[in-house]
Amino acid sequence: MNLQLYYDFSARHLLTQNKTCSINGKCICQSGTLRCALACFAVENDVTIYGNYNGGIPSIKIRVDTCEDLTLLGELIVIHDKSRPTDWPTKLHELAIKHGLQPFSPSDLSGGRGCINPLAIWYTNPTERAKLLEAHKIAGTSHLLTNYLAAFPEDTGGVRESVLPAESQGVE
């Protein structure tokens, strides 16, 4: 898992959104168009049905189950849930330094870092996509993948390899 890619995407998400995703002060996965720091990776169209349980979102659960280092993802959630949006740039900078990553700041929003959801690319792999489709089939929630499947076709020609470094392609 290339932590830089996940950090960049979530940092971009938080700094662009600039608002916590909560209802009555309680952080949740999604409220309207707002998403938390982990749910931003979900490829599903809508994750409101999962309430405040990010671990129930199939696209996140399947990927997280294959990860060895979940500390960064947990710390991104803490930044979203426990800090004010005005403090996010500083907190994200400190988190990057702690993990040996290149910090992402508001000035990076005009560039290309963090624009591609690494989880969306992950699921272009035919094996990983099959797991995702099966999980949604069993749950009866296949309709939540409509937009994702249209935007990210299955990788049958090596395109994925040209988009992200090997560490983020499921090659660990």
DSSP 12-78: HHHHHH-S--EETTEE-SEETTEE-TTGGG--SS--GGGTT-GGG-HHHHHHHTT-S--HHHHHHHH
Burial-class residue 133 by CB neighbours within 10 Å (0-12, 13-18, 19+).
middle
pLDDT of residue 62: 84
pLDDT of residue 75: 94
Mean pLDDT score, 30-56 = 87
pLDDT band at 172 (very low <50, low <70, confident <90, very high): very low
Q: Which residue has the tokens 């005005």?
A: 86
The alpha carbon dihedral of 65, 92, 41, 121 has a sign of negative
pLDDT digits (tens, 9 = 90+) for 46-71: 998 887 776 788 888 888 777 766 78
DSSP at 109: G
Tokens at 117, concatenated: 């959801």
Q: Is the pLDDT at 102 greater than 50, yes or no?
A: yes
Q: Is the pLDDT at 167 greater than 50, yes or no?
A: no
Mean pLDDT score, 67-88 = 88
Tokens at 80, concatenated: 């979203």
Q: Which of 80-89, 107-116, 127-136, 163-172 has the lowest mean pLDDT?
A: 163-172
Mean pLDDT score, 73-99 = 95
